[in-house]
Amino acid sequence: MSEDLLMQLIVIDDSSNETETVINMLRNAGHAVRTTRVEDDEDLRDAIEAGQGNMILSKLEIPYFSAREALHVVEMSKRDVPLLVLVNESNPPRETELLKAGAKDVVTMGQPHRLEHALLRELSALNDRLHLAQCRVRLDEASARAQSLVNTSRDAISYVSEGMHIYANESYLQMFGYTDMDEIEGMPIMDLVSGEDAGKFKEFLRRYQKGDSRDSSLDVLGARFDGSNFKITMEFSPATFEGEPCTQIIIRDQSVSKELEKKLDDLSKQDLLTGAYNRQFFLDALNQTISKTHRSGCLLYVVVDDYRQVRENAGIAGSDLVLADVAALLKKHTLSDEDFVARLESHIFTIMLYDVDGVTGMAEAEKILRQVEDHIFDIGGQTITTTCSIGVGMFNNTIQDPQEVLSRSERACNKAVEAGGNKAQIYNPAKEEMHEKEQEAVIVERIKNALREGLFTLNYLPIVSLQGDTDENYEVLLTSLEADDDFKPEVFLPVAERRGLMVAVDRWVLANAAKRLAQERQAGRRINFYINLSATSLKEPKTLPWLRDLIKATRIPANALTLQVSETDANSNLKAIKILSTGLKQLRIRLALDHFGVLPNYGNLLKHVECDILKIDGSLVNDIASNESSNLRVQEIAETARTMNRITIAESIADAQTLPVIWTMGIAYIQGEFLAPQLDDLTYDFSSMG
């Protein structure tokens, strides 16, 4: 029976006995049937008008009413209501007449299964006709919307049949200097191509119409009404106009396209809040400088002091204005056209000064300190003052690693902050590196000892569903039982990565997390773990076989485990992440891209990686209520995820104002210290968010 329509029978019968047998037979076969009994033409007309039935089952004839008269009533109603005739015995000539009169079928009482089949067939056909009608309405509506979009589009669009214009929108007319469609209707498309490109255009059009051309676009000189020429790109595609097949042509002015391309390129490099360059542009420029051009100079790492207090005093919007003003002050301290200011993240800026020494770099840093300290920020009538701390790092052709340059400047800045802020500190390689190597050697031994002696432990950060998922989801985080400032995860994990210990650390986490997960699953809890995977393990060829053996040994459901790889690690190791994502899919382990959305070209990454989950970076998430750029970025990611059937998680939720915006965007899960802190056990009450 049709899944879309209930069988609503209008029964024409003066006695319930015979047709009741048919209805009982249908119900006994599992079909839902609703009936309305009528005995004359007036009853039938009222039942049809009231929509009481979608099919009619009529006896051949009852007193005062017949199947032929019923067919006439249906015809006059203009409604699509199939009528089937029930007869006591077969009479082919009579059946033929009834079918000619409009009956859908004629069935004898002795053929119950044939009657059942006929009713279901007609119900299915009726359902198909209704869907077809709906589709036609939607098609008409879509066509009307499409035509409206074409009419108002800024793109120049025309429709051409047999080489002649049959329609052109306003943008098309204006581009070629015409004022009305009447001036161009019936005009050959050839007339809008310059004579010097006429042969080229004819040959392209000939091949395109024969289907011999691989290209659907052509660059030619367009010819305006006033005789002037201009460079255009013509894009051809098959279309219909008013139901007739034709060719759609979209024309783009190349000069406008190049200008727009430049604007988009500039925007892709810019931090929209401050007008400084963005993080990705800075990282690309730093890499180019260190790895390719081998230039020398200074990198200034600038942090706004007490930014949390600034934000509390000025509010989110006000603190954004403070950052914009700071960026404007910093731009005054570039010394050449090549120098630039970038916003690295939140309240952190960098300044690249080329071809200067450390003395000059420190002198500029001191000037910045005084200028920021003396500046009064006016935020809607409220005055705010602040200071900054600056780390100065040198770069030259002896340094091969761009990240090392950035790290040196950051470490120098951290010392300035630790000294009370409003200070500048230059990184001294001879003095600093020996001390740092000594510290790192101690940390390496502590990592090895923690792995041997079981001095690491796991913490758990809840991931809460906004869409009714009843599973308990946790991100698993590594920490140390030796809880001192010199051995926190943010200290020992970078050392483990640099010193080749990260694979061992990752496997300790995975093995212990899988063991705990197996225990909880056996106890009946539907718990899922999200576990970070380092860049080193990502590139390790033995990672996939090791994971396979771990799943077998612990007998955990593979889909209860999600591995998280940061977006930057994935983007820097495309070949490795493609191999990993393919292997994880075969193992049924899910893959999440962590800190997602920071890179401007995340769409390109998604073309290469078969991931299941996108964890949207906290720097974007926590700006969505106040920063239009971040808001649009997160909306775009959420829509991309829906289109690609990917799950989304908003990371690092920092305040209550963010939650309603996240909800409206359709993001599936949230996590962050504001929502729930890291726990030393699996004790979060997920029902509290229900």
C-alpha to C-alpha distance for 179 and 184, rounded to whole angstroms: 9
**How many CB atoms sit inside 10 A of residue 185's CB?**
12
| Angle (deg, nearest 10), helices 429-453 and 489-498 | 100
DSSP bridge pairs for 394: 298
Nearest alpha carbon to residue 547 among 535, 560, 558, 532: 558
- With a cut of 90, say whether residue 502 has pLDDT above it: yes
For 344-358, the pLDDT digits (tens) are 988 999 999 999 999
3-state secondary structure of 66: strand
Report whether 315 contacts 589 (CB < 8 A). no
pLDDT at 442: 83
| pTM exceeding 0.75 | no
pLDDT of residue 516 exceeding 90:
yes
361-376 mean pLDDT? 94
Q: Running DSSP on this structure, what letter comes out for residue 644?
A: T
Sheet with 7-12, strands from edge to edge, namely 33-38, 7-12, 55-59, 83-87, 105-108
Question: Does the structure show a pLDDT above 70 at 433?
Answer: no
Candidates 117, 130, 123, 115; CA nearest to 58 is 115
Per-residue pLDDT averaged across 93-106, rounded?
Answer: 93
Q: Quick one: the chain helix, strand, coil %, rounded to 5?
A: 50, 25, 25
Take residue 268 and report the two structure tokens written for it: 């892709």
Question: Hunting for tokens 């209501």 — which residue is that?
Answer: 81
Strongest mean pLDDT among 131-135, 506-510, 683-687: 506-510
pLDDT at 258 over 70: no
- Distance CA(220)–CA(419), nearest Å, equals 65
**Size of the chain, expressed as the number of residues it contains:** 690
For 34, phi then psi, to 5°, come to -120, 135
- 2 pLDDT above the threshold of 50: no
Asked whether 52 and 8 are in contact (CB, 8 A), the reply is yes
Element (H, E) at 546: helix 543-554
Q: What is the pLDDT of residues 467-482, one digit of tens each?
A: 888 899 999 999 988 7
Average pLDDT over residues 24-50: 86
What is the predicted pLDDT for the residue at 562? 96
Lowest-pLDDT range, 157-171, 419-433, 555-569, 605-619? 419-433
H or E element that contains 389: strand 388-395
Question: What mean pLDDT is predicted for residues 619-634?
Answer: 82
Distance CA 287, CA 265 (A): 19
Q: How confident is the model at residue 209 (pLDDT cuts 50, 70, 90)?
A: confident
Q: How confident is the model at residue 585 (pLDDT cuts 50, 70, 90)?
A: very high
pLDDT at 16 over 70: no
Q: What's the pLDDT score for residue 280?
A: 86
> To 10 degrees, what angle do helices 402-418 and 279-287 make?
120
Phi and psi at residue 333, in whole multiples of 5°?
A: -110, 15
Q: Work out the burial of residue 556: count CB atoms within 10 Å of its CB; fewer than 13 is exposed, 13-18 middle, 19 or more buried.
A: buried
- What is the residue type of 225? F
Domains present along the chain, CATH in parentheses:
7-133 (3.40.50.2300), 153-259 (3.30.450.20), 272-427 (3.30.70.270), 459-477+504-678 (3.20.20.450)
The predicted pLDDT at position 4 comes to 53
Give the bridge partners for 353, in sequence order.
298
Task: Supply the pLDDT for residue 149.
Answer: 76
- Whether residue 559 contacts residue 590, with contact meaning beta carbons closer than 8 Å, is answered with yes
For 305-340, how does the pLDDT look when each residue is reduced to its tens digit (9 = 90+)? 988 888 888 888 888 999 999 999 999 999 998 999
- Give the model's confidence band at 424: pLDDT under 50 very low, under 70 low, under 90 confident, else very high: very high
- What average pLDDT does the segment 357-380 reach? 92
For the segment 265-287, the average pLDDT, to the nearest whole number, is: 85
**DSSP-derived 3-state class of residue 468:** coil
Question: For residue 256, what pLDDT is reported?
Answer: 54
The burial of 110, by beta-carbon neighbours within 10 Å (0-12 exposed, 13-18 middle, 19 or more buried), is given as: exposed
pLDDT (0 to 100) of residue 3: 45
Cα 561–chain centre separation: 23
Of the candidates 610, 605, 599, 686, the one whose C-alpha atom is nearest the C-alpha of residue 646 is 610
Q: What is the pLDDT of residues 292-308, one digit of tens each?
A: 777 889 999 999 998 88
Residue 130, token pair as written in the block: 């209704």
Angle between helices 67-77 and 92-101 (to 10 degrees): 20
Mean pLDDT for the stretch of residues 539-563: 94
Share the mean pLDDT of the chain.
Answer: 88
Q: What is the 3-state secondary structure (H, E, C) of 646-660?
A: CEEEECCCCCCCHHH
What pLDDT digit, counting tens, does each position of 125-146 carry? 999 998 898 888 888 887 777 7
Res. 63: pLDDT tops 90 = no
From first CA to last CA, the distance across the chain in angstroms is 38
| Position 1 confidence tier, pLDDT thresholds 50, 70, 90 | very low
**Strand 55-59 with 83-87, pairing:** parallel
Which of 219, 162, 225 has its CA nearest to residue 196? Answer: 219
Furthest C-alpha separation in the chain: 114
**Cβ pair 107, 118 in contact under 8 A:** yes
Q: Closest by alpha carbon to 101, among 133, 69, 140, 61?
A: 69
Assign 116 a pLDDT band (cuts: 50, 70, 90).
Answer: confident
**Residues 673-682, mean pLDDT to the nearest whole number:** 87
Instruction: Locate 534 and state its tokens.
Output: 């380092």
- Percent of the chain at pLDDT > 90 equals 47
Which burial class, exposed, middle or buried, applies to 308 when counting CB atoms under 10 A from its CB (0-12, 13-18, 19+)?
Answer: exposed
Concatenating the DSSP letter of every residue in 151-177 gives: HH-SSEEEEEETTEEEEE-HHHHHHHT
Most confident of 6-15, 48-57, 211-220, 484-493: 48-57
